Chains A and B, each alone.
Chain A
Amino acid sequence: MTHDVIVLGAGPAGANAALAAAEAGLKVVLFEQQPAAGGQVWRAPLPGLRMPSSPEKDSGDALRARLAASAVEIRFGRTVWSVGQHFRVDAVGPGGNEHAEAPRLIAATGAHERVVPFPGWTLPGVIGLAAATVLLKSHGALPGTRVVVAGCGPLLAVVAAGILKAGGTVAAIADLAGPGDWLKALPALASQPRLLMRGAAWALKIGGARIPVHFRHGVRAADGGEAIEQVRLAPVDAAGGFSAGPEITLAADALCVGHGLVPGAEIPRLFRTAQTFDRRRGGFIPRLDACGRTSLNGLYACGDGVGIRGALVAEAAGRLAGLASAHDAGALSADAFAAAAGQARARIAQARAFSDAMAEMMALRPAQVAAIPPETVVCRCEDVTRADIEAAHADGARDLNQLKQFTRCGMGPCQGRFCGDVAGELLAAKVGSREAVGAFTARPPLRPVPLADLMGAFDYADIPIPAPAPL
């Protein structure tokens, strides 16, 4: 064993887990794919890029400073490709393949973006809302010169305000929710005054720029030849399906669109830990105890990867998982653990109303999936359409993995991270439930990894070729 605990992911959850475990005296190693900590929400600007201050950047800078001052061994720029039993983690990084071993593993791998497909969603110029935040926060780049921002949840305001702040033009915002939905969420949002103020600042920015906001509108289609040229919006009902009413056509060279987030629970799934389907939390999530322990001894999980709850909860849940790992390792007494865990749980309880309201806004709306036209591509890696998925059902496919074998849906570079939720919903509409349809089996590598990086330099004579098969 090289360490006491391995933490995967340096967002608010993973970084706090690593800090809590290290403060308790554990030898901690933290793997992160990006060049800096912060996750998506507190994403750091690329090295050498100066970005104006913002509350998100400040929170990220504070976390990065705490990590830098801690005893946590941080390995940035590592792509973790294999996570094995008794916890061996293999990653490729600047020095080739490397691995770490520890009796405990904390998975804090965040969430994936969900885009419910519509005609034209694969055109160049159409990007996800979360992808747009990466452009804005890390690269200081605009998604286009005239941008439509569409979808649901708080990222709409984050992206629209971010584009304005960076000097860009927002043609319009289309929100699946109506003003009534936001009003209903207001008491919950008011439970976090700092975040409510942040939202109000975004709203003011958007209002001050007189950006048209089309509530209860979704994207009917993105049109264009080589790239997006215009966006057509249409009214939707509360369930997300299109309703009667005029379309709005907007010229645009970029569309930032997102329909919530899906927990990236591949690591617990890889170990086949118990899971449940929770629509509000974004999909299939691992079953955890109150401290982030999965059903597998030594494996902990926290953050948006175990259900969409946002950064506030992620920080506290990460700390809780880190404390639990330290307690389980015998580095933290029962009393000290109870006291520290109590504080973290109190913070989660305080954040609950806010995080539930936001998660509700971002949950998948079934009628929106039902409205996908038959010829629209659902799996963009492998060009599998809704009609292909339904034909596979007619051919006997009853679960997601069988659908994959019949159609190649989910077999491409993203391994179903992007299409799995919507494909599951389409198949579930025929089969009966998401539980029956299940999730794509998780397999290594967790992210695509170049063969050249994996194998490094070698001599043929050194390859440990096993003994010949029988003749």
Chain B
Amino acid sequence: MIHDLAVIGGGVHGSTVALFAARGGMKVTLIERGPLCREASGVNAGTLTLQMTRVALIPYALRAHAMWASAREWLGHDVGVVVCDGLSLAFTEQEEELLSFRAGKRREAGAPISLVSGAEARRIEPGVSDTVRLAGYCKVDGFANAYLTGLAFRRALIDAGVALQENTPASGIVREDGGFAVQTSNGVVRARRIVLAGGVWIEPMLAWLGIALPIKTLINQLVVTERVRPVMRTVVGIANGLLSLKQYPHGTVVIGGGWQGIGDRERGGVELLPDRVIGNVRLACHAIPDLKAARVARAWAGLEAETADALPAAGPIPGIPDAYVCGSVHSGYTSGPYIARLLAERILGHETDLPLFPIDRLLGTATPSEARHD
């Protein structure tokens, strides 16, 4: 049989494209080398914030935030989304400047961020340190339980009639008359159209088609505490974006912010650097002092894909009709569902409300941007 669409990669991008394409009437298969949403989409910090989103993505993130907030309606299943206030903190004069500048740029792009005094920040978030001088305050913030993403999408995709092929690594694509033949561990899968949605693995996937698109792999360290009494009620970050902090309804606190560990595309997140775990934790406790009493239950590293200009790779693949790519969205968990839905609409032949991010701009670039956190 031949599918209308084969999506390779079952993270939040691939799953969303597959879901909306199937709901749009296409016969869709989704091919994933492991279980759904077990890489970046299942192990990220779950933050749904505009205060860490790239300015160019703010219009997308706003719409994606609304999607997450209404996940029960369109996805049909719970991802534990909590919508709450968000604060981005400045503790020094320098950080005040950085915050004012960054919040201003994001506000121009449509994010409803206002600047509030330290006293006002403490009124909004009583858990926050009294050393805060200034804060970016945004009512459009919140978080999801990232580890529930796979379960929710799995149910939704099955309901929508998508032929799920989990634990089925793909190893190559051959163009043939009327479409594509995807080689998988389970045999050849044929489809008229393909979407490559492999996160950091988009680079080797595109190479199957002779396209060289360098994708940098970020190794984001994360820490989660045991369940503790309520110590905070908002999503808290800092001016330069190197902290994300929130407490889940069941009491655990997730500490993130993109401090880099050791790993790569081949081996995944291999190891955390203890000094950076300590740095990240110090920053978290400096922001929310009551957090000190908690114990660390677990720390891990998740991958994030980044193109040379740190903007998404989402659109048609140049020179190959009916082939598309979707991924490398900065803070991709936040904005991913909306951008992936745009791509599904494009594939279904509809006009899209906002433009996609075609990769033509990136082809021919020599190397991905240098490590930015190191």
Contact = CB atoms under 8 A, between A and B. Distances in A.
A454 B91 contact: no
A467 B373 contact: yes
A450 B226 CA distance: 10
Interface in B321-336: 330
Contacts of B151: 395-396, 405-406
Contacts of A243: none
A402 B150 CA distance: 9
B54 to A, nearest CB: 6
Nearest to B300: A443
A465 B281 contact: no
B297 A413 contact: yes
A466 B299 contact: no
B262 A85 contact: yes
A408 to B, nearest CB: 8
Contact of B274 (A99, A399, A415, A448): A99
A52 B296 CA distance: 38
A463 B242 CA distance: 11
Interface string A443-471: 11100111110110010110111111111
For B276, B279, B374, which residue has the most chain A Cβ atoms within 10 angstroms? B279
Interface of A: 81-82, 84-85, 88, 90, 97, 99, 395-399, 401-402, 404-406, 408, 411-413, 415, 443-445, 448-452, 454-455, 458, 460-461, 463-471
Contact of B259 (A401, A445, A466): A466
B242 A465 contact: yes
Contacts of B35: 396-399, 402
Contacts, number: 144
Interface in B68-101: 91-92, 98
12 contacts: A405-B38, A445-B297, A445-B299, A448-B226, A451-B296, A454-B277, A454-B281, A464-B279, A466-B260, A466-B374, A467-B372, A470-B330
A454 B299 contact: no
Contact of A82 (B102, B272, B295, B374): B272
B281 A451 contact: yes
A471 B299 contact: no
B281 A455 contact: yes
Nearest to B222: A443
Contacts of B298: 411, 415, 443-445
Nearest to B102: A471
B278 A97 contact: yes
A455 B150 contact: no
B274 A451 contact: no
Contact of B295 (A411, A450, A458, A469): A450
Contacts of B310: 470
B283 to A, nearest CB: 6
A395 B155 CA distance: 8
B299 A451 contact: no
A448 B227 CA distance: 12
Contacts of A470: 54, 310, 330, 372
Interface range on chain B (Cβ under 8 Å from partner): 35 or more
B181 to A, nearest CB: 27
Contacts of B262: 85
A460 B54 CA distance: 26
A18 B146 CA distance: 43
For A399, A443, A449, which residue has the most chain B Cβ atoms within 10 angstroms? A443
Contacts of B225: 451
B285 interface: yes
A259 B352 CA distance: 61
Contacts of A458: 282
A82 B276 CA distance: 12
A454 B255 CA distance: 14
Nearest to A450: B295
A452 B131 contact: no
A407 to B, nearest CB: 9
Contact of B297 (A399, A448, A455): A448
B286 interface: yes
B292 interface: yes
Given A84-B271, A455-B282, A469-B242, A448 B295 contact: yes
Nearest to B151: A406
Given A84-B274, A467-B372, A470-B372, A405 B148 contact: yes
Interface in B218-247: 225-227, 238-242
Contacts of B166: 396
Contacts of B154: 395-396
Contact of B272 (A99, A397, A444, A467): A444
Given A405-B150, A460-B131, A451 B38 contact: no
Contacts of A460: 91-92, 131, 286
B186 to A, nearest CB: 15
B244 to A, nearest CB: 11
B55 interface: yes
Shortest 9 CB-CB distances between A and B: which pairs? A468-B240, A469-B241, A448-B295, A405-B147, A466-B373, A90-B274, A82-B274, A452-B292, A455-B282
Contacts of B227: 412
For A85, A88, A406, A445, which residue has the most chain B Cβ atoms within 10 angstroms? A445
B124 interface: no
A97 B276 CA distance: 13
A413 B226 contact: yes
B293 interface: yes
B291 interface: yes
B167 interface: yes
A455 B272 CA distance: 16
For B154, B238, B274, which residue has the most chain A Cβ atoms within 10 angstroms? B274
Interface in B284-317: 284-286, 291-300, 310
B118 to A, nearest CB: 14
A122 to B, nearest CB: 16
B258 A469 contact: yes
Interface string B252-273: 0000001110100000001111
Interface in B148-184: 148, 150-151, 154-155, 166-167
B258 A415 contact: no
Contacts of B92: 460-461
Interface in B16-56: 35, 38, 42, 52, 54-55
A443 B150 CA distance: 21
Given A395-B151, A464-B279, A452 B54 contact: no
B105 interface: yes
For B155, B250, B272, B284, which residue has the most chain A Cβ atoms within 10 angstroms? B272
A22 B166 CA distance: 51
A405 B42 contact: yes
A368 B90 CA distance: 57
Nearest to A84: B271
Contacts of A84: 271-274
Given A395-B155, A471-B105, A415 B297 contact: yes
